[in-house]
Amino acid sequence: MSVQIISLEQGLEILNSQGNKFYSVVFEKRTNGLDRKMLCLNKVKGNVRYNLNEKSLKNVYDVQSKAPRMINLLGLKKIKANKKEYVIRQ
């Protein structure tokens, strides 16, 4: 699998274009600074009480924990989607 270096904006386009497909991400958690790997789906049910864009978060469904979770977009490091791997250039 080849690795492609992309910008954060390109990464957001890839995440938003996944629809109901599985993809994985690696990002830095805001709470403790550790990297978190997550297998995700974009289909999420439930309401969020704040503006996700203002806080640079993306609401996703974590397949492994079977619950909604947030991705820290500013800490996004890698995406695996559509049989390709992307590294985010900060």
Dump pLDDT digits (tens) for 34-74.
Answer: 999 999 999 777 677 778 888 899 999 999 999 999 999 99
Residue 6 to residue 3: CA distance in whole angstroms: 10
Residue 17 has pLDDT above 90, yes or no: yes
Q: Which percentage of the chain shows pLDDT scores above 90? A: 76
pLDDT at residue 50, as a whole number: 76
- In this prediction the pTM is 0.89
- Mean residue pLDDT of the chain comes to 91
Q: Is 11 in a helix, a strand, or coil?
A: helix
User: What is the identity of the amino acid at 42?
Assistant: N
* CB-based contacts of 15, cutoff 8 Å, min separation 6: 23, 25, 42, 58, 71, 79, 81
Q: What is the mean pLDDT of residues 24-28?
A: 97
